[in-house]
Amino acid sequence: MARIIGGLTTSHVPSIGGAIARGDQQTPYWKPLFDAFTPIHAWLEEMKPDVAIVIYNDHGLNFFLDKMPTFAVGAAASYDNADEGWGIPVLPSFEGDPDLSWHMIDSLVADEFDITMCQEVLVDHAFTLPIKLMYPNAGPTWPLRTIPVMINSVQHPLPSAARCWKLGQAIGRAIESYPKDLKVVVLGTGGLSHQLDGTRAGFINKDFDLLCMEKIVSDPVVLTQYSNRQIIELAGSQGVELMTWIAMRGALQGKVSTVTSTYHAPISNTGGAVMLLANEPVATLAAAE
């Protein structure tokens, strides 16, 4: 049976790609963010996940304001990166897992989620940079397969934090019911607090960010009680990317513990946060008892 072995959260601002391209990883501004991935690299080398479910928000490569699905899942054999105009290198294509994708889609629809099924998906920085941070020395091919899950955090009305939590739970059930023996890691990418425009451009709320990082482990349901308006007030207009974290956490069905957690702000006017959570599946816990 497939099992979720962990969850990863990270900010995904495009300037991370520029720092990688320039070789700025160990400069004082960037070093805390990149060093946060050192224990993650060790964990990935030990655990060797087969598939990454990447929960993120599309920034216009696939969907724009005229057509914006609330939730979309990729079901392609591969996913290409495209030039978004940020001046960062285009990364090699990412291998998909269509069988697992369709199993997830079938399961999500059965759980009454109206999913947009995407047999072609271009992946942007919110997808590519977290994978690059996880595997900085990967060659022309990546060491695991990937499935993109896109949540609308751009065009109102947005899904609620509570709905994204339930989406994550449904993803977790789908993965745990997949009959193949796979190790899966779930990513929630984005945030934390930031606002890119308006009178609050550059807004960061460290206290709220640290609260989110605490509760995402110990009491994630608390975060589902915030309305989108409250999240925007507390974390900025782009702080609603927190919903990708909430969906990731909902997918972790077992005993969750923190492997590593780092907060470094500002990173390109963002509350830069990185967390790795280990997930001991329910079946493993039951067997131990």
Under 8 Å CB-to-CB from 230, ≥6 apart: which residues?
none
Q: Which residues participate in catalysis according to the annotation?
A: 125, 194
What residues have CB less than 8 Å from 217, skipping those under 6 apart?
Answer: 256, 257, 258, 275, 277
Distance CA 80, CA 124 (A): 9
CA distances, 97 to each of 2, 5, 81, 100, 184 (Å): 13, 17, 17, 6, 12
CA distance linking residue 193 with residue 245, whole number of Å: 12
CA 177 to chain centroid, in Å, comes to 21
CA distance 261 to 273: 8
List all residues 6 or more positions away from 83 whose beta carbon is below 8 Å from its beta carbon.
Answer: 90
Look-up: residue for tokens 């399961």?
107
